[in-house]
Every structure is written in C-alpha cells, then in structure tokens.
Structure 1
Amino acid sequence: MIIRKISVFDGVQKFEYVKEIDTGGKCGYSMTVREDGRESFYNAWNDLQKIIDGHTTNAKDIPVFNGTTVILKQIGIKYLETNVQGKIMRIPSYIKANGLVGTKQTTLKFETGWIALNETEVILVEIMIKETALFIKGRRAQEQLFEDVQ
C-alpha cells in the first residue's frame, strides 16, 4: 500500500492510497472516516509538526510560526523508488502540508511547497505511514474492527 495523502482535521480522517490488485495492476482509493484512531496514530500525526516547524523560516532564518498555534490538516507524500536486491523499495522523500495558523487576532490558512526530508524526518513520516496503514486496515481506538470473534 502506498499512502499518498493523509488528512486529520475536525474529527475526520481522510486518506488517499494506492494498492496493487490481484491482476497485477494498481488501483487508487480514497477513504473518509469519522472514527477515532489509536493514540499512536495521533502521536505520529503531531510529530509531523516538527517537520513543518523546521522548514518554515523567513529570509532571516527565523521560524515563521514562532508564537502561533499551528493546526496541521493534510500532508501529501512523494516517494523515491529504488531497487534493493531486485526488490522495489519506496522511501518517503518529500511532503507537502497545509493547515491553519492562528494568533489571538486572526487565523490564516497555510500551505507549504514540497519539503525534502532528512533522515530523521523520513523516520517520522514512515511511522505516520505505518499508523495510517493500520488505521485503514481497521486498527482504531477500539483496537481491531475486523477481528474474528470465537
């Protein structure tokens, strides 16, 4: 499964992803859920804020969002594909984000350009991707949706 977009805002989770199908091709899917995720899902989402904070500075290298409240709404993910011993590996290499930033006086929308990820940031995005895949497969706040009961 290749996660392309993740959106978490106002109690709604939206995902866009690609899966390989039995006939050998790929098919794109989107999913909108009004259901709580596990705590680890939201922790991973909140950790992505570190990437946004680290890459949004002005010409004087001062953090743009310093002293404001930032609400991350959505990220898009681009992958680098590489061949490792005959197996295609996809590594998240760039993210693009949007959301809201607010002060006591006003709230504004923001959108970043594509942000190149460093090694530490790749790990944070990979954790979010893993949590998103688990969410899509049914791992939610109540733990397992599709578990067989005996």
Structure 2
Amino acid sequence: MKNKILLLACCLLLAACAAQSDAPTSNIKLIHSASNIDELLSYNAVLRKMPPAELGRELQRINAYPASPSNNVRRAMALSMTRDPIDLAKAEAQLWNVMADNSVEAEKLKPLVQLLVSSYADLRRVADNAEKSSIQLKDAQRKLDQLNDKLEALKNIERSLPAGGK
C-alpha cells in the first residue's frame, strides 16, 4: 500500500512539474549606448601606429578642435603616445576634465575614461620607477668606476715597490 501511495505521489509531482514548464523567463536586453567609444578605440589603435612626426602633426590638429568630452579623450590619447612624462600628466588632466563633466556625452564616456586614467597612472608609475632605476644604475656605475680607479692606483703602487721587500 505504501508503494502505491509513493508511486501516486511521484506521478502527481511529475505531472505538476510538467505543467509548470511554461514558466516565464527573463529577457535580457542589451542596451547599446549611442556614444562613440568604438570610434575612440579605433582612433587609439591608429595613434599607436603613427610615427613621432605624424603624431606631432596630429596633436596640432586635435588642439584646434573645439572642447568637448570626446575631443578631450582624443587629445589625451594623442598626448599619451608621446611617452613624455609632462604630456602624460597633461593627458591625465584632460581625462579628469571629462570625469568632472556631467554632460550626457561625458557620462557615456566615463567607463572608457576611467580605464584610461588608471592606465596612464600605471604608465607614470612605471616611468618614474624606470627613471629611479636609471639614476641608481648611473650611481652604481660611477662608484664602480671609482673603485676600479682606486684598484688600478693600488696596482701601480704595488708594481713600484721594490721586489726584494718580500
């Protein structure tokens, strides 16, 4: 009898599950922002391939553009490609201007700007560390040269001593 009740309960449970198969599912909608992030990313790729002379001309051209969040991002991207610490600081300042802007265009660009700000900060840290390492290397080389000079002087003194003193 218990087996029949258990079998009946299982059948009812399976029937209930089958009836619920049409449960509503959530639809995920991808929202495509009308910002020009794709264009800016493509522009960055083009900038990376430019030789320094052409990059300088591009910077002059960008500086003539009117101020807008996307133009500030373009200017920052171009400035960052010069690999000059001063230009990198200028690029970060351009990006912070976009971060402070509350316009619709700036709001759409903020995820990209945040990524660029952190990337440029890392670049500055690496450049600072490279400069410190370069200074330390020069100091170590100078000390090594001084020690070699002292060693040569001691060798010359030893050579000038009479051989019979031993």
Same fold (TM over 0.5): no
| Bigger relative CO (Cα 8 Å, ≥ 6 apart) | 1
Structure showing greater radius of gyration is 2
Question: Higher helix share goes to which structure?
Answer: 2
Q: What is the TM-score with the length of structure 2 in the denominator?
A: 0.23
Q: What is the TM-score with the length of structure 1 in the denominator?
A: 0.25
